[in-house]
Amino acid sequence: MKIALTSLFVDDQRAALAFYTDVLGFTKGHDIPLGDDFWLTVRSPESPDSPELLLEPASHPAVKPYRDALMEDGIPLAQFAVEDLTSEYARLTGRGVVFTQPPTDIGTALMAVFDDTCGNLIQLIEMKQA
C-alpha cells in the first residue's frame, strides 16, 4: 500500500491553484470540474513519486470551525520539505507570504510556518545533515 493522495481544504480553489503553483512552485495535476467545484490536485516537480495534494473545496460546514481552531493555535495542516529554509523564507516573504513562525532551530531541523492564504497553515522543514 502507498500513500497516493493527501488533501487540504481551501477557501477558493482557483486562488489556491494560483498560490500553490505560482508562489510555491508546484505543478497542476488533475483539474476535473464537479458542478461548481473541481477535483483539483497539485504535485511537486522535485519529487514526481510523492503523493499528490488535493485542494478540496471548504464548503462543508464542519470545515470552518475545524480549521479556525487549528489556525488560532498555529497548528499546520501539512508539511513540505525544503533544501534551504533560509532562502525559501526570504523568497516567500518577498512574495508577500505571511509567516506565523519564522525559521526556528529545533535541533534536528529548521522549521517555519506560513499562512497559505486559503485558510491553512503550512509547515516548512529543512532536515539538518547528519
Partner 1 sequence: MVMVDVFRALDDETRRTILDELSSHDGQTLFEICSILAMRHNLSLTRQAISQHLGVLESAGLVATERRGRSKFHHFNPAPLAEIADRWPIQKRIQ
Dihedral sign for Cα atoms in the order 90, 91, 96, 102: negative
What DSSP string describes 53-100?
Answer: EEEEE--STTHHHHHHHHHHTT--SEEEE-S-HHHHHHHHHHTTPPEE
Q: List the one residue from 23, 54, 63, 71 that touches partner 1 (CB under 8 A).
A: 71
Quick check: 108 binds partner 1 (CB under 8 A)?
yes
Min dist CB 81 to partner 1, Å, is 16
Q: List the one residue from 73, 90, 126, 130 that touches partner 1 (CB under 8 A).
A: 73
Helix, strand, coil content of the chain in percent (nearest 5): 25, 40, 35
**115 burial via Cβ count (<10 Å: 0-12, 13-18, 19+):** middle
Q: List the one residue from 22, 68, 84, 87 that touches partner 1 (CB under 8 A).
A: 68
Cβ closest to partner 1, residue 46 vs residue 68: 68
Q: List the one residue from 42, 82, 92, 113 that touches partner 1 (CB under 8 A).
A: 113
Name residues contacting partner 1, limited to 23-62 (CB under 8 A).
none
Where along the sequence are the contacts to partner 1 (CB under 8 A)? 68, 71-76, 98, 100-101, 104, 106-109, 111, 113, 115, 121
